[in-house]
Structure 1
Amino acid sequence: MVSKTESAVYTHGHHASVLRSHTWRTAQNSAAYLLPYLKPDMKLLDIGCGPGTITVDLASYIPQGHITGLENGEGVLTQARALAEEKGVANIDFVLGDANELAYDDEAFDVVLCHQVLQHVRDPVRILQEMKRVAKVGGIVAVRESDYGAFVWYPNSEGMGNWRDLYHKVTRHNGGEPDAGRMLHAWAKQAGLTDIKCSSSTWCYSRKEEIAWWSGLWAERTVASSFGTTAIDAKLATSEDLSNVATTWRKWGDEEDAWFSVLHGEIICHKH
């Protein structure tokens, strides 16, 4: 196998506004499609674990097993390890690595999963091939990805549409695919997986505090995270454009009847 490392740029980075969203994620709200398949003594690999909230949560579902969280940036792993220690979770470790070339033997894990990763990589099929390689025969490859083109919100506005258009441009400039959710089953087939079960689920924000949280983090993310820096450096937007997008998010968040739904595609692939 030819050595390969990730060439796409992670659109969001790990700014505080991004981590506020990532640390909200749990096994229940982000991996419910996988939970029925877990057994207490399984060995799991969570690719792109970020701050580790899903990883740490999943550890409780495999009390006699073990889970490894893998991330390609060391900084956020410090936060993940601190969370595991705070929660007293011992059947877990966090490692630095690149999913394009996993440093594990064939058939090393019962379950290999990733959440919101394939939308940010140059070659999702390659990563699925690696996930398949390190999964045991009879094991599972599991993926969940959002689909920005299928996000739905109320009330509608031209400004919110402009935000989505810009997000598509920035992510694709970085080498990713923002509408990954709808493509997972096709990528899995290209990776050589054959027993593929598809599903979809949503995050839905409707309560006042949820809307304030969601709109606020996106307003901040637009101007303060790597997203905004890339948009300006790539000449996809000006600082004024980004300021306008942030204002749009805040105005939308102040709407009495604001509502937002985030669609995700999901696949469970049994390796034969």
Structure 2
Amino acid sequence: MKADKARERAELSGKATNVLDARTLSASHGRLEQLLAEGMSVLDAGCGTGAITRGIAGVVGSSGRVVGTDNNPELIAKARQAGGDVPGLSFDVCDIYALPYEDEFDIVTSSRVLQWLADPLQALRAMKAAARPGGRVLVLDYNHEKIVWEPEPPASMRSFYAAFLRWRSDAGMDNSIADRLPGLFREAGLRDITATPRHETARRGDGDFMPRIGIWADVAASRGLQMVKDGYVTEDERAAAEDDYREWVRDAAVSQTLYLLAVEGVKA
């Protein structure tokens, strides 16, 4: 089943989780930060290691309630270790397709998660059910088909990236999920739907330029191993993409823009 294959390919462990630890509410989910207020109840579905979730708890304060969920027990264990002493914050292991909440939260959010699902509509319906009437569902996600590099990266990385998109789509994942979200929100029965561009641009000279634009070398080093195992690239192709891209980042890269939308809707 594609749902099982997507779940298997989305799995993160070891050093691959570092990208989750590096995220913050302000830098990584700015539209959500704009909506938060003290005392709110918030569900962060697919919270990973809880880096953004802890930021949410810091804004809503001890009078609020924040729950982070993920289907990966290892990630939830890390989240609990890092945020266990924060008042009003808790973490649960559960599937985004079957969230055990109903009419409970002012905001139900998911950041960069639906891109890894074979059935994002089912997840949206579960998120909507968890929101209180009049509450808001907010999803932040990418259209991977609209990435822009300046100048173009080496041919080895362009080939690897094309294989990465095939590897995802063959498992039922939608590489253009960001642009499909408004329609999925309507299909889920949400109203007052808006989409806010949150594109992520890294430019040479930025203090965090190297780690941000270097993400695809990290993907080649982590997801690339899965792609070799699944037969989408050879180990030589994977290694060449990683090495050539790191050299390009060091010597030639000017900028990279990832296409990212924050889409939100209200539960009637």
Structure 2-normalised TM-score? 0.90
Q: Which amino acid counterpart does residue 187 of structure 2 have in structure 1?
A: Q
Q: Which amino acid counterpart does residue 122 of structure 2 have in structure 1?
A: R
Q: Would the aligned equivalents of 1:148 and 1:164 in 2 still touch at CA under 8 Å?
A: no
1:201 aligned residue: 198
Cα deviation for residue 229 of structure 1 reads 3.5
Q: 1:15 to 1:252 in 2, by over 3 A?
A: farther
Q: 1:209 to 1:243 in 2, by over 3 A?
A: farther
In structure 2, how many angstroms separate the alpha carbons of the residues matched to 1:241 and 1:205?
26
Please, which of 115, 118, 122 is the counterpart of residue 122 of structure 1?
Answer: 118
> Could you tell me the percent identity over the aligned residues?
24
What does 1:53-132 correspond to in 2, within 5 Å? 53-63=51-61, 64-85=63-84, 88-104=85-101, 106-132=102-128
Q: Would the aligned equivalents of 1:201 and 1:264 in 2 still touch at CA under 8 Å?
A: yes
In structure 2, how many angstroms separate the alpha carbons of the residues matched to 1:59 and 1:110?
13
Pairwise CA RMSD of aligned residues? 2.0
Q: Which amino acid counterpart does residue 84 of structure 1 have in structure 2?
A: G
Cα deviation for residue 209 of structure 1 reads 5.4
In structure 1, how many angstroms separate the alpha carbons of the residues matched to 2:207 and 2:37?
36
Cα deviation for residue 248 of structure 1 reads 2.5
**1:154-188 alpha-carbon deviations (Å, 9 max, x no partner):** 12133332232112111122331222111111111
1:107 alignment partner, SS class: coil
Q: Which has the higher contact order (CA 8 A, sep 6+)?
A: 1
In structure 2, how many angstroms separate the alpha carbons of the residues matched to 1:248 and 1:68?
41
**1:94-152 alpha-carbon deviations (Å, 9 max, x no partner):** 11000111112x20111110001111011101111111111111100000001211111
Please, which of 226, 236, 240 is the counterpart of residue 236 of structure 2?
Answer: 240
**1:37-66 alpha-carbon deviations (Å, 9 max, x no partner):** 222111111000001110000111111101
Cα deviation for residue 190 of structure 1 reads 1.5
1:162 aligned residue: 159
Q: Would the aligned equivalents of 1:110 and 1:136 in 2 still touch at CA under 8 Å?
A: yes
2:145 aligned residue: 149
Query: Comparing 251-260 with 22-31, which one deviates more in the overlay?
Result: 251-260
Q: 1:200 to 1:154 in 2, by over 3 A?
A: same
Q: 1:13 to 1:258 in 2, by over 3 A?
A: farther
Q: Would the aligned equivalents of 2:132 and 2:267 in 1 still touch at CA under 8 Å?
A: yes
Q: Would the aligned equivalents of 2:145 and 2:176 in 1 still touch at CA under 8 Å?
A: yes
1:178 aligned residue: 175
Cα deviation for residue 17 of structure 1 reads 4.1
In structure 1, how many angstroms separate the alpha carbons of the residues matched to 2:225 and 2:55?
32
Q: Say whether residues 1:192 and 2:189 are aligned partners.
A: yes
2:130 aligned residue: 134
1:60 alignment partner, SS class: helix
In structure 2, how many angstroms separate the alpha carbons of the residues matched to 1:112 and 1:56?
15
Q: Would the aligned equivalents of 1:147 and 1:178 in 2 still touch at CA under 8 Å?
A: yes
Cα deviation for residue 20 of structure 1 reads 2.4
Q: Which amino acid counterpart does residue 167 of structure 1 have in structure 2?
A: F
2:31 alignment partner, SS class: coil
What does 1:11-50 correspond to in 2, within 5 Å? 11=9, 13-50=11-48
In structure 2, how many angstroms separate the alpha carbons of the residues matched to 1:209 and 1:237?
33
Cα deviation for residue 6 of structure 1 reads 5.3
Q: Which amino acid counterpart does residue 77 of structure 2 have in structure 1?
A: T
Cα deviation for residue 259 of structure 1 reads 1.4
Higher helix share: 2
In structure 1, how many angstroms separate the alpha carbons of the residues matched to 2:213 and 2:264?
31
Q: Which amino acid counterpart does residue 32 of structure 1 have in structure 2?
A: G
Cα deviation for residue 16 of structure 1 reads 4.3
Structure 1-normalised TM-score? 0.89
Cα deviation for residue 242 of structure 1 reads 0.7
